[in-house]
Structure 1
Amino acid sequence: MTLTHAEGPMPDGSRGQIWGALRSEPTPVPGGLLGNTPAGGPHNPLMSLTLQPEYGGRSDFYSDGNNLGLFTVRYRAVGPLLPQGCVIGADAPLELRLQRLGNSRWISKNPPVIAFDAKDDTFAVPAATGCGPLERLVNNRLGLPAPQGNTMALSATYTFMTYDQLPNR
């Protein structure tokens, strides 16, 4: 996933943030919709299933100790047999509260590129909704809803530019 946002001090000294975008390729679910397609085996394209992350409507990336901030995300379940509105977290997005693991690592000073690892092992995942007659199958296949205690680990790389470095318009 690639997240684009801006944050920094406002003229009055308060903190400001602006959400930009979330970009990501869909992630294939191994085994497809039925979970019975062996790796490298015959595959029925009608049974394919991918998950497409989407911004969930809230983000706050101001650091608070080891807490990297709050980020909400939905996942669109995509497959030839599923309607467009088949979404995990449609009404209540997954709420991730990422914790930094270890120290940040400078990859480059010019341009500034910093890498770090993070995880959240506390979030719940709601059931998929809007999946039509296959909703129960989708939820059973993905083990949804899932109570608190799920884990997402990531390796992040970011760059930044201060407002005074932006080109004039």
Structure 2
Amino acid sequence: MSPSRKRARLAAAGVATTLATLTTLVTAGSASATTLNGSWAPFSRCPVDDPSMLAADGANVTDTCLTTHASSGTIKLGNTTATTGVTDMQFGVLSGSTASLVSPSGGGLVADPVKIPGGLLGLMCPSKVPVITQICQQLTDNTLNNVIATVQPAGKPSDFDLSAGLGSGKPILTLPVKIHLQNPFLASTCTIGSDSNPILLKPKNVTAPDTSFARFDGNGTPDPDNGDLLRIDLTGASVSDDSFAVPGATGCGGLGLLDAAVDLKTGLPSAAGKNKLVLNSASTYLGGLYDPSSFAPTSGRKMSAFWHSAAH
């Protein structure tokens, strides 16, 4: 297999999926990370030891590591717009007749919490409902007023379009999410959207990414000519979606009164076209064996061994 075909094989199998996952940059989760050397560094949470990744044979199925990092963006839900913080997303990618994602232990998505502008005062107050009015009168303390929002998965991604990730203006996937709202007055179950009625993001590239390729050795040392691994870097992409609808709040307490208060002030439910996700310049990295077939039928186990050899 020629070098260009090897690069094309890895890119075609994973690049579009990589770009697709840029859309989840505001999603939050938790997972432990391992510090890795050299070119392996971005893939600190790659699930190389997941049974499905280890089972990749290098002939029919290949496994690669995927990570996306963004430092800023905005999300508008109804009448409220919030700035997103640093977000890191990592998955394993299994590529065969189709491409699928494998989450690391603890979740594939880690993001800085988002503080809702105005806090609970901005979400619920003023109100003519006595219970809500009493809460509003107690919100002079910033600790009581602060509302922290985290976007969480509410189902599995679907509708991957491999070609859309290479260009711009075309939805890449459908991503179900819900937004968890945290405040001392809100129940721990308070969310905007839910597993049964999620927000369905269908983001697309506003601009196509810049792409570069680099080979490296198993321990992470760059090796342009003979490296067993290949890293594809996709940088500078912008992502946006204004097609999604936002359901009302649920599980916020007060026999539904707090749900209604959040909905009324925030403008929820909010129809498609009135909400928007914007992710500023993002960096995505895809790493895997340069020639998986040369390690068949145990390429998945070889990938895992290489990854662990770079840990320190």
Give the TM-score range, shorter chain.
0.7 to 0.9
CA distance 1:72–1:132, change in 2 (3 Å):
same
Residue 115 of structure 2 corresponds to residue 28 of structure 1: yes
1:42-53 equivalent positions in 2, closer than 5 A: 43-53=141-151
Indicate the residue corresponding to 2:200 in structure 1: 95
CA distance 1:62–1:3, change in 2 (3 Å):
farther
1:43 CA drift (Å):
4.8
SS at match of 1:167: helix
Match of 1:146 among 260, 270, 287: 270
Match of 1:78 among 173, 182, 191: 182
Number of aligned residue pairs: 161
Partners of 2:174 and 2:102 lie apart in 1 by 12
1:108 CA drift (Å):
7.5
| 23-32 or 63-72, which deviates more | 63-72
1:98 CA drift (Å):
1.0
> 2:245 is matched by which residue type in structure 1?
A
Quick check: 1:19–1:59 contact (8 Å CA) kept in 2? Answer: no
Residue 284 of structure 2 corresponds to residue 158 of structure 1: yes
Pick the structure with more strand per residue: 1
CA distance 1:146–1:3, change in 2 (3 Å):
same
Partners of 1:19 and 1:166 lie apart in 2 by 15
Partners of 2:109 and 2:279 lie apart in 1 by 15
Match of 1:16 among 81, 90, 99: 99
Match of 1:113 among 205, 215, 233: 233
1:86 CA drift (Å):
0.4
Q: Which has the larger radius of gyration?
A: 2
Deviations 1:37-64 (A, max 9, x none): xxxxx75311211111111212144424
1:148 CA drift (Å):
0.7
> 2:284 is matched by which residue type in structure 1?
Y
Partners of 2:157 and 2:251 lie apart in 1 by 25
Quick check: 2:148–2:182 contact (8 Å CA) kept in 1? Answer: yes
5+ residue gaps, structure 1: 37-41
Partners of 2:260 and 2:113 lie apart in 1 by 21
> 1:79 is matched by which residue type in structure 2?
N
CA distance 1:31–1:4, change in 2 (3 Å):
same
SS at match of 1:135: helix
5+ residue gaps, structure 2: 1-86, 126-139, 165-169, 216-230, 293-301
| 121-130 or 156-165, which deviates more | 156-165
- TM-score scaled to structure 1, two decimals? 0.82
Indicate the residue corresponding to 2:244 in structure 1: 123
Partners of 1:127 and 1:53 lie apart in 2 by 15
- TM-score scaled to structure 2, two decimals? 0.47
